[in-house]
Amino acid sequence: MLVTGYGAVTPLGHSADETWTAMLAGRSGIDTVDGMDVTGLDVRIGGQVKGFTPGRYMPPTVSRRADPYARYALAAALEACEHARLVVDDRLAPRVAVIIGSGYGPVGSIYRAANTLRDRGPRAISPFTQVTTAMDSAAGEISMRLGIQGPSRAQSTACASGADAVGAGMRMISHGEADIVIVGGADACVTTVDLAGSGNARALSRRNDDPTAACRPFDTHRDGFVMSEGAAVLVLEAAEVADSRGATPLAELTGYGASSDAHHWTAPHPEGRGACLAVEAALRDAGISGADVDYVNAHGTGTLLNDATETAVLHKVLGDRVTRIPVSSTKSMTGHMIGAAGAVELVASIQVLRTGDVPPTINCDEPIDPDINFVPHRAQHHDGLRTALSNSFGFGGHNAALVVRAV
């Protein structure tokens, strides 16, 4: 099926174009966290969406009730539909679906509601609380705003949520359940609770004095990932539906695979078994082998275990092809957007295929594998890129991989 539009809200910009331009420039969206009291936290850096104005995308009644993650998702969905020139009219509405992935969901609203109950009592709790603190609130806001009458649902598989949402949308179209699916991921978990928890798990970088250098995928001196927020949403369509609408295809989604490590809550399987299963399944679904992959947008979090494991997985699944193609981690600039990561990185992968420009892995000063081109520091141009692989591996052993092809 075809991708006909996409939108994004990230620490690098409030649109897909702004985000892509910043990626190619090698600009980091990571900084000292502001807007909340981080005194006493071991980790005080993150990738925040700054300067976002909800009123540009939604009326005050929506922005007041919606958690930031749902606001970002709605803004990205509106951009994606505008990009696809998609108007959901009465004829289309029953055949359009929406799936939004999120690892954490509306955690800010949950924390605020708990604090309100503690400080002001039950009468101060909003009657919208049970809606706005639900994982499906982003999908609900999008379906109501766009008039979507097909299935609307949430997807939650930690850091693989965005990629799994795309995969679920692919299956929905291939099984005839919908003709068009609005898919993506969103999270807004740069909170004191989540920084404290992930920091105590020793998963986060502690380079508080040098935020832009903190996320160092595939670098020998990496010390953890950086928590970030944002959203990305794509429009998927059956080819015949896109053709009948006169939509311009941006790329073709050809493969999806998913698996579980069944090993540990925060550590990947030491042999990368689950990740291998997901990547192999995606390649098999696309009807190709590792020798056909021209670019990899790696999961590349900057943690000690993930980067070493993913490097081994790429060698195993792609063989010597991995030493002859660019492999980059855009998380080096965005930070780890959790449930939004897979969707943002799919958008980046599509842009690579459309332009031949490959965004860099910044801060990769001493690559852990000198045989792989991690596109260190600066963007590169490569001609003839036809097929990209995008990996997403999450806490709990959730793994997802997507294969996309140029059109």
Which tokens belong to 383?
A: 């001609």
Taking the alpha carbons at both ends of the chain, their separation in whole angstroms is 11
**Looking at 186, 215, 245, which one is the last position of a domain?**
245
Say if 83 falls within a structural domain.
Answer: yes
Choosing from 159, 189, 276, 364, which is the catalytic residue? 159
Say if 334 falls within a structural domain.
Answer: yes
Say if 108 falls within a structural domain.
Answer: yes
Based on the fold, state whether residues 19 and 146 are members of the same structural domain. Answer: yes
Across-strand partners of 403? 255, 389
Q: Containing domain of residue 94, as a range?
A: 2-245
**Predicted local confidence at residue 386, as pLDDT:** 98
Which tokens belong to 191?
A: 């909170």
Per DSSP, the residues of 293-325 read --EEE------HHHHHHHHHHHHHHHGGGGGSS
Based on the fold, state whether residues 235 and 363 are members of the same structural domain. Answer: no
Look at residues 271, 295, 289, 259 and name the one whose alpha carbon lies nearest to residue 400: 259
Based on the fold, state whether residues 378 and 314 are members of the same structural domain. Answer: yes
Based on the fold, state whether residues 325 and 392 are members of the same structural domain. Answer: yes
Say if 351 falls within a structural domain.
Answer: yes
Look at residues 294, 226, 270 and name the one whose alpha carbon lies nearest to residue 46: 226
Catalytic, 81? Answer no
Say if 297 falls within a structural domain.
Answer: yes
Question: Which residues of the chain fall below pLDDT 50?
Answer: none
Based on the fold, state whether residues 228 and 328 are members of the same structural domain. Answer: no
**Looking at 245, 271, 293, which one is the last position of a domain?**
245
Number of domains in the chain: 2
Based on the fold, state whether residues 151 and 269 are members of the same structural domain. Answer: no
What single letter denotes the amino acid at residue 374?
A: F
Say if 235 falls within a structural domain.
Answer: yes
Based on the fold, state whether residues 232 and 265 are members of the same structural domain. Answer: no
Based on the fold, state whether residues 231 and 319 are members of the same structural domain. Answer: no
Based on the fold, state whether residues 226 and 291 are members of the same structural domain. Answer: no
Look at residues 118, 115, 307 and name the one whose alpha carbon lies nearest to residue 222: 307
Say if 250 falls within a structural domain.
Answer: no
Based on the fold, state whether residues 267 and 312 are members of the same structural domain. Answer: yes
Based on the fold, state whether residues 286 and 224 are members of the same structural domain. Answer: no
Percent of the chain with pLDDT over 70: 100
**Looking at 224, 245, 266, which one is the last position of a domain?**
245
Based on the fold, state whether residues 34 and 127 are members of the same structural domain. Answer: yes
**Predicted local confidence at residue 83, as pLDDT:** 98
Which tokens belong to 214?
A: 């903190």
CA–CA separation, 209 and 45 (whole Å):
9
Q: Residue 301: give its domain's CATH number.
A: 3.40.47.10
